[in-house]
Structure 1
């Protein structure tokens, strides 16, 4: 079955590469301050005490179906390594929960959407008891479409919203346009939808928007998801060992690079450099109260400059592929072609690249090396968020529509090892896939129809499962568990934060400056000046805003 991991969704990469942070702030389930558009004042979109927030959440009833072979550890996903036996699949939805009331869903979609009456959609509706009209939208342009729809008077009954689209006026529109689901899901009420009740509580907390439980979450593992991958087959052939410090990496990179042979040590390593030097990566809130009691932003730490300087050393040494320097093409393709030997990407590439190269390049081996600290040894890593995507139901929807939307989400949240999960992920046996030696294999119709619509409505706790390459699932879990041992939560852990609009573009100049500095186009003094400008242009005021937010609602760690 397809992996459900911290970074398995198609647009996760664009989110991780962005420094935009906007959503409703929730500290331990406490909705925080939200901004009034363009105003210097802020208004609460619902200030709820931790006790009251807890009263909004579903009671956790963990699923006992198909226990993982490798339990989650240190914030990792769980792992399943056994072959698929269709005769032993469990049933998580023994009776149709849907009543056939028609409703519409808008969701991001990557690829060409299947026909509305395709057999995949038809069979899922039949099995779940639903009647869904899908309004699939281009995932790469979804933010623009979402903003326009939420600003209109015609909103679909159910809308999927990824965290990376929670920008501009969208967060406030969520509070205004989508309903409170706690009357249907709070406490033991969720037991009517057992797969939703099995979703981890931390993920549900992030579904509190504007003082109410509005979002049905897609849980993610909080252990690191960005992985430094290396070509193990080539390392073994050359007798190399994965580097264990920044200096060791640079030394190896110089040895491994041969511009004449068009082989370079690595791609742009900025993402992983931030982890090596103990920074909260771009794409997180970036604020944290340190041991000294001071609230600081990621760019104010000396480690920020150290990470930038090390990244620049790689470029200056000529060990980074020219196309990575020019920011063209696909680093993953250069990796599989042997043009680069190390690159950083989301952990799902472990499986994707293994499966992609299995036939054409059977000697290909991809591994992830452990993240090291700035002087070697153990790193300091930061927890990711426990949810990254939500589905919402519009205010004014009838009870029948609400019930059917929740029935669909409950079906989508079926755990691994169940008939429902198999249907969502693979479709119909014989029509969309066949099983060979315990491995489900999609055919052309399966690849065309069984894509990412239903799977976006909700999900079980994060897991890895690759029946065709079970060892990859094991390695993914073990890598996350090892890295998770060095992970800590920040003061904004578990929060989706709406920053006041006046600060929306505060950090934008730093995005390009980081790229330019690493590539030798800007000086260290340029970076230092940009940090000073950030402070005087609003950074210090934004610090006061965050301090008030944390003082009133508590720290996420």
Structure 2
């Protein structure tokens, strides 16, 4: 659903649109025992006040003035690339010690490894210590994560996607056993020894604590929204069909644009966005506060039933691509790029990378999100959060000097836009990994596309920005315009600042329940089975999750 050109855009190119895959992959995930869920794990919730006591003191790093100022969780926008770059980290962070081994996800072709990659050589020369990245397939990252945690064999730096680690039973125990407590290095003014880390938002750091202690460095999201509904505007404009502005028009779009005899279908996966149009909750997998103060789950709401009926109709009338109907893992990006589907949901981070790549193949290619709307008189509820996309953990027991060296490397990795370090991290070496457009913005070369992946991207976090590039000249205005138009519909987060580790039975019932919903969507079960699915969800752990979440709110006075 991750976040993206996987590098600069938090690589939501694959992930936020992959929430479903991440959850499914963790259906049998857990900690230190093949990472299987342990029945009886009752969950835990660290109070927001305890987290606040260990937070770093924020200090902005402002190198250049944005063309479009940020607004709350909306990032800053830059319409020109700076001609003069600033040195953000004047001294090499590394002390020339042993190489730093890392593990992080990647959703793309495997780049050449250390020793055969000039991009890695260039960055490591600036770091003063060799970083040896291990990039793992993002689609199966939960398996690798489970393996290293279960074996207690973690690298010096390990990147954990939020949707993976949130599902691991007793993950806080793994954190304490395997990773360094960074509290004394980073809390309060101590973080100012690492100024680029101090510039990360307080809201992002709030999620980086376990058990009331700081154990990770967050990688902030580049926008709060989990999904958008994208359409091939170039193809729909050519067909004389405008973007839908209601659920009725969305259905009519499907009827007009599906041409199965030509191998074209209107839709790929759309159910998550349809739920938002119908006003369904997404908070903590689908909870909403009731007027009496308790919580109600989405399966119990008439809005959800209506969204399910609507989407099942799209499937039933053959408006959804057969690959989406048949599997959970259809390559919808490829289908979308090839004009085989004209609309599907994805994370907003996918946008710039796909647009930049595809316009080289199809010059008229125009990927645009549809402005959100409600179903009838219902106002949309748009899911999202300021929760970081990734967390980077430091291996426990490396010693103070080595831990500080690694934190200096992470500080280098967090260098902001407008710095020389940012350019090297994002694009590599000019003339080798990128050239410049007339306006000075970098354009990756073929070597840059081959060698540059997410080797350093998720290690140190970064202050999110959106930057115009020559191959996506209108992207920044479009991206920020969509955010500004949508932010008023963002679902409030009742649990902001509360660190939750969900009860095992509740976590275990989520995936099989959604599998049953998928059967209803695809016509393998009748709509009326929703009531049975809701009962089985409640008895299988849903009511336990409800009680846990209600108590967490009560303990925090909410």
TM-score normalised per structure 2: 0.89
Q: Report which stretch shifted further, 514-523 or 218-227.
A: 218-227
Residue 496 (structure 1) shift: 5.2
Q: 1:40 to 1:191 in 2, by over 3 A?
A: same
Q: 1:57 aligns with which of 55, 58, 67?
A: 55
Q: Check whether the contact 1:207–1:217 (CA below 8 A) recurs between aligned residues.
A: yes
Helix, strand or coil: the match of 1:161? strand
Q: Are 1:451 and 2:453 counterparts? A: yes
Aligned equivalent of 2:85: 89
**Quick one: distance in 2 between partners of 1:471 and 1:202?**
29
Q: Report which stretch shifted further, 210-219 or 169-178.
A: 169-178
Residue 199 (structure 1) shift: 0.2
Helix, strand or coil: the match of 1:338? coil
The RMSD of aligned alpha carbons is: 2.8
Residue 495 (structure 1) shift: 4.8
1:534-557 CA-to-partner distances (Å, cap 9, x unmatched) read 1123322221122222222344xx
Residue 269 (structure 1) shift: 1.4
Residue 9 (structure 1) shift: 5.8
Aligned equivalent of 2:442: 440
Aligned equivalent of 2:33: none
**Quick one: distance in 2 between partners of 1:6 and 1:451?**
12
Residue 114 (structure 1) shift: 2.6
Q: 1:71 aligns with which of 58, 69, 72?
A: 69
Q: 1:424 to 1:501 in 2, by over 3 A?
A: same
Aligned equivalent of 2:102: 106
Q: 1:545 to 1:116 in 2, by over 3 A?
A: same
Q: Are 1:190 and 2:186 counterparts? A: no
Q: Check whether the contact 2:13–2:353 (CA below 8 A) recurs between aligned residues.
A: no
Q: Check whether the contact 1:56–1:187 (CA below 8 A) recurs between aligned residues.
A: yes
Aligned equivalent of 1:255: 256
Q: 1:176 to 1:472 in 2, by over 3 A?
A: same
| Structure 1, gaps ≥5 residues long | 23-35
Aligned equivalent of 1:157: 156
Aligned equivalent of 1:514: 517
Residue 374 (structure 1) shift: 1.4
Q: 1:141 to 1:242 in 2, by over 3 A?
A: closer
Residue 349 (structure 1) shift: 3.3
Matches within 5 A, 1:256-271: 256-271=257-272
**Quick one: distance in 2 between partners of 1:121 and 1:365?**
33
**Quick one: distance in 1 between partners of 2:152 and 2:528?**
50
**Quick one: distance in 2 between partners of 1:507 and 1:156?**
30
Residue 218 (structure 1) shift: 0.2
Q: Are 1:543 and 2:546 counterparts? A: yes
Residue 523 (structure 1) shift: 0.8
Aligned equivalent of 1:345: 346
Residue 37 (structure 1) shift: 7.3
Residue 372 (structure 1) shift: 0.7
1:166-185 CA-to-partner distances (Å, cap 9, x unmatched) read 12454420122212212111
Helix, strand or coil: the match of 1:434? strand
Aligned equivalent of 2:235: 234
Q: Check whether the contact 2:231–2:342 (CA below 8 A) recurs between aligned residues.
A: yes
1:157-209 CA-to-partner distances (Å, cap 9, x unmatched) read 22221112212454420122212212111111111111100000010010001
Matches within 5 A, 1:124-523: 124-166=123-165, 167-281=168-282, 284-327=284-327, 329-375=330-376, 378-437=379-438, 438-468=440-470, 469-495=472-498, 497-523=500-526
Q: Check whether the contact 1:102–1:401 (CA below 8 A) recurs between aligned residues.
A: no
Q: Check whether the contact 2:294–2:550 (CA below 8 A) recurs between aligned residues.
A: no
